[in-house]
Amino acid sequence: MVLSCFAQCLGNEGIVLAAFLANASSIFCRVGTDEDKLKSDFIKDDSINAKPMRRCHDTIKEFKDCLWTELNISTPPFWRWNHSLCTELDRQLKNIILSCLSENAAIFSGNDKVGYEVALSGQNGQSHPSCYFLTFGQKQGRVNFSEILSLAVPYLVCVMRFDFESICP
């Protein structure tokens, strides 16, 4: 992912994407009253757990150091992507993400007992009970996951919804 981004002059963006994907299973949003939130390790304004953010920051630094020492690649001092503008860079980044996650794409079978079918392998699995959209009683058509937990019932772990149409317009 990082080298694909560097090939498209999106080096900083690739490093950040890789760092966040590597830590995705531990990034979560805290809910509750402001008093409850202040009692925990927490970034109050954004409601995002601070420990994974520190881990992502450290991972970004390690990626940059490794690229420089091992491959003699320096990261540019600027960002090309701007979150407030919809440009061709959005499509490029989305395509890079999708190409890196294609092995872990799954589609809901339409049957609650069967669950999701992994696109490349055909293996079936259920969304792990901790999956965020199950909390809201939802089933998603297309998802991406980090791994399959092999138990009596295989579970897809760290499941997130994706909308193919919004990824590839």
- pLDDT mean by block of 10 residues, the chain; 169 residues: 85 88 69 64 59 88 93 87 82 80 84 88 86 64 84 86 59
> What pLDDT is recorded for position 72?
93
Would you state the structure tokens that stand for residue 69, as one six-digit string? 């020492």
- CA nearest to 108, candidates 97, 124, 132, 120: 124
Q: What letter represents residue 22's amino acid?
A: A
DSSP summary character for residue 75: P
Q: State the Cα–Cα distance between residues 166 and 14, nearest whole angstrom.
A: 20
The pLDDT of residue 67: 92
Nearest to 19 by CA among 72, 66, 55, 68: 55
Count CB-CB contacts under 10 A for residue 126. 19
Q: How far apart are CA 101 and CA 119, in angstroms?
A: 11
Residue 169 is predicted with a pLDDT of 47
pTM of the predicted protein model = 0.60
- Dihedral of alpha carbons 42, 48, 49, 51, sign: negative
Query: What is the per-residue pLDDT for 164?
Result: 59
Q: What is the structure's pLDDT at 165?
A: 60
Cα atoms in the Cβ-side hemisphere of radius 13 Å centred on 128: 18
pLDDT of residue 137: 63
Strand partners, 149: 155
- How far apart CA 46 and CA 50 sit, in angstroms, is 10
